[in-house]
């Protein structure tokens, strides 16, 4: 049985290579079969995203406050929410398109544990995709005090791009749950 996530995305990639002429049809069918199931019930302001759901919060919080807020949401099997992971440009574009208003939003990326090594949600999940604003991250003397990352939806030169910030700064934020989740 297929599971959502990396296996499913790899399958889509292989199908695209093997059946170039019909890739759009196959993509649509596979997307419906694989990705509709786990997150079809995102409601109450949550949007379908990757295998689960995301929600934007425009009340400014520090990064740690934002993570605590996200963790207050749990899936039906009690998996806590966390700040969002954005592993590709397609995902980044989708997130920006869903944003309810312009601003800067905390995402789950941090180099808190190891300066200059950016991981998702502080875990052992090294980021492979970045959408830094040109010039970021800046030099070490500046970045050693900035361990958190915000995504801009402002209609200016920062649009869709990521910049580093001090984690004690307060920003809007985006929570992600692996499947539909509710406040518990
Ligand atoms: Ca840093």
In this predicted model, what pLDDT tens digit does every residue of 74-116 receive, in sequence order? Answer: 999 999 999 999 999 999 999 999 999 999 999 999 999 999 9
Q: Exposure pattern of 96-131 as b/e (b: 16+ CB <10 Å)?
A: beebeeebbbbbbbbbeeeeeebbbbbeeeebeeeb
What pLDDT shows up at residue 121? 80
Residues 128 and 55: their CA atoms lie apart, in Å, by: 23
pLDDT band with cut points at 50, 70 and 90 for residue 41: confident
Residue 129 has pLDDT above 60, yes or no: yes
What pLDDT shows up at residue 122? 64
For residue 161, the CA-to-ligand 1 centroid distance in Å is 17
- Residue 63: Cβ within 10 Å count: 26
For residue 179, the CA-to-ligand 1 centroid distance in Å is 30
For residue 42, the CA-to-ligand 1 centroid distance in Å is 34
For residue 143, the CA-to-ligand 1 centroid distance in Å is 4
pLDDT band with cut points at 50, 70 and 90 for residue 36: very low
For residue 127, the CA-to-ligand 1 centroid distance in Å is 14
For residue 164, the CA-to-ligand 1 centroid distance in Å is 8
């Amino acid at each position: 049985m297929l599971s959502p996530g990396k296996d499913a995305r790899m399958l889509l990639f292989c199908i695209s290579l093997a059946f170039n002429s019909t890739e759009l049809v196959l993509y649509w069918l596979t997307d419906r079969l694989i990705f509709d199931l786990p997150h079809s019930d995102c409601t109450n302001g949550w949007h379908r995203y990757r295998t689960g759901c995301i929600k934007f919060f425009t009340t400014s919080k520090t990064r740690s406050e934002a993570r605590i807020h996200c963790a207050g949401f749990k899936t039906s099997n009690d998996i806590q929410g966390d700040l969002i992971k954005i592993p590709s440009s397609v995902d980044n574009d989708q997130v920006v398109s869903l944003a309810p208003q312009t601003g800067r939003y905390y995402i789950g990326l941090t180099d808190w544990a190891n300066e200059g090594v950016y991981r998702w949600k502080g875990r052992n999940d090294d980021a492979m995709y970045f959408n830094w604003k040109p010039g970021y991250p800046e030099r070490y003397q500046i970045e050693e005090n900035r361990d958190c990352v915000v995504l801009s939806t402002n209609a200016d030169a920062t649009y869709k791009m990521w910049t580093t910030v001090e984690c004690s700064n307060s920003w809007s934020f985006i929570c992600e749950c692996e499947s539909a989740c509710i406040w518990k």
